[in-house]
Amino acid sequence: MDLSKIKLVAADMDGTLLNARHELSRDFYRVFDKIKAKGLLFAAASGRQFFNLLNKFDTIQEDVIFIAENGSYVVYKGEDILVQAMEPAIVKEQLLVAKHIPDVYTILCGKKRAYIENETPRFIENVQMYYDRYEVVDDLSKVEDDQFLKIALCDLAGSEANSYNFFRQKQDELQVKISGSIWLDLSHLLANKGTAIEVLQKKFGISFEETMVFGDYLNDLEMIQKAGFSYAMENAHPDIKKAARFLTRSNEEDGVTVVLLEMLSSMNGQS
């Protein structure tokens, strides 16, 4: 296994690069500096909002590629590389369905900010964890002055058992992704982390064999399929473990950093 040819590294955030407290590894920035010095590109690929990711990597934001909203929005050095927005009519149709699902709270994810209708404390706690810019509105269906990248459903009854059943039949029209135990994401049919990786590969002249990715949940599946070096975390969903070529330690054991140090070692004989 030759890791020395890697040119692009992309890592999911929650359950992958971040621990259970949503923190980066203590060694991450040291390793990142070495990756940057080698001329490698690093992408943070997440269902999180762009502004949230920007703040997570505050001190190195000019050097990180941001794959936000599950691949609907890709930004590098302040440049929009990909904006895969949903059609307003489709958005309104899905909002209407979501409105009648028990135990579900809806986040309309715009390019400018996120929008919510409800301020229930448990819901707001989840909103603030992933969305740094949001606005409370009276009616999500009346929001117009934005591009809508995703509809995120915070499903306190469990996304796989509850809200997914209301949208599974829409999978030929939309991306319908179970992105966490209480999260279901709806986005443009062409929007996923795998498409984002393909866009980056084409833009920077990077091949499948020169790409390394890390993931843990179902919204990482397409990304896993676009890299010669695909890693599932030890804590990953069984379907991700099945799809990935390799397995690394859990997010609690800094599994991403461990592999990156191996990669650096193969490049220069030292970590």
| pLDDT tens by residue, 158-194 | 999 999 999 999 999 999 999 889 999 999 999 999 9
For residues 78 and 204, membership in a common domain is answered with: yes
φ/ψ of 132, rounded to 5, equals -85, -20
Q: What single-letter amino acid sits at 58?
A: D
For residues 18 and 141, membership in a common domain is answered with: no
Mean pLDDT, rounded, for 13-34: 95
Query: In this structure, are residues 9 and 239 in contact, taking their beta carbons and an 8 Å threshold?
Result: no
* Residue 218, domain member (yes or no): yes
Smallest CA-to-CA distance from 180 within 107, 75, 95 is with 107
For residues 95 and 183, membership in a common domain is answered with: yes
On the question of pLDDT at 250 being above 90, the answer is yes
For residues 72 and 98, membership in a common domain is answered with: no
For residues 160 and 209, membership in a common domain is answered with: no
Distance, in Å, from the CA atom of 237 to the CA atom of 200, rounded to the nearest integer, reads 26
Mean pLDDT, rounded, for 109-126: 96
Element containing residue 234 per DSSP (H, E): none
Provide the β-strand partners of residue 67. Answer: 45, 74
Distance of CA 66 to the CA centre of its chain: 9
On the question of pLDDT at 85 being above 60, the answer is yes
On the question of pLDDT at 49 being above 70, the answer is yes
Mean pLDDT, rounded, for 47-61: 96
Domain coverage including residue 93: 88-188
Place of tokens 């020169």: 210
For residues 231 and 212, membership in a common domain is answered with: yes
For residues 233 and 172, membership in a common domain is answered with: no
For residues 92 and 135, membership in a common domain is answered with: yes
* Residue 1, domain member (yes or no): no
Label residues 213-249 b or e (16+ Cβ within 10 Å = b).
Answer: bbbbbbbbbbbbbbbebbbbbebbbeebbebbeeebb
For residues 77 and 195, membership in a common domain is answered with: yes
* Residue 2, domain member (yes or no): no
Which of 125, 154, 188 is the last residue in one of the domains?
188
On the question of pLDDT at 270 being above 80, the answer is no
Active site residues: 12
Residue 150: the pLDDT is 97
Residue 83: the pLDDT is 98
For residues 64 and 139, membership in a common domain is answered with: no
Per-residue tokens: 230: 């695909």
Which of 188, 217, 240 is the last residue in one of the domains?
188
Residue 114: the pLDDT is 98
Q: How many helices (H) and strands (E) does the chain have?
A: 9, 14
How high is the mean pLDDT of the chain? 95
- Split at pLDDT 50, 70, 90, the class of 269 is low
Mean pLDDT, rounded, for 105-111: 98
Which of 152, 171, 188 is the last residue in one of the domains?
188
For residues 115 and 181, membership in a common domain is answered with: yes
On the question of pLDDT at 209 being above 50, the answer is yes
Distance, in Å, from the CA atom of 83 to the CA atom of 175, rounded to the nearest integer, reads 15
Residue 78: CATH number of its domain: 3.40.50.1000
For residues 234 and 204, membership in a common domain is answered with: yes
On the question of pLDDT at 268 being above 90, the answer is no
* Residue 3, domain member (yes or no): no
- Split at pLDDT 50, 70, 90, the class of 271 is very low
Percent of the chain topping pLDDT 90: 97
| pLDDT tens by residue, 210-245 | 999 999 999 999 999 999 999 999 999 999 999 999
> What is the value of pTM for the model shown?
0.93
* Residue 160, domain member (yes or no): yes
* Residue 132, domain member (yes or no): yes
Number of domains in the chain: 2
Q: Is 19 left (phi over 0), alpha (psi -120 to 50) or beta?
A: beta
Mean pLDDT, rounded, for 234-258: 97
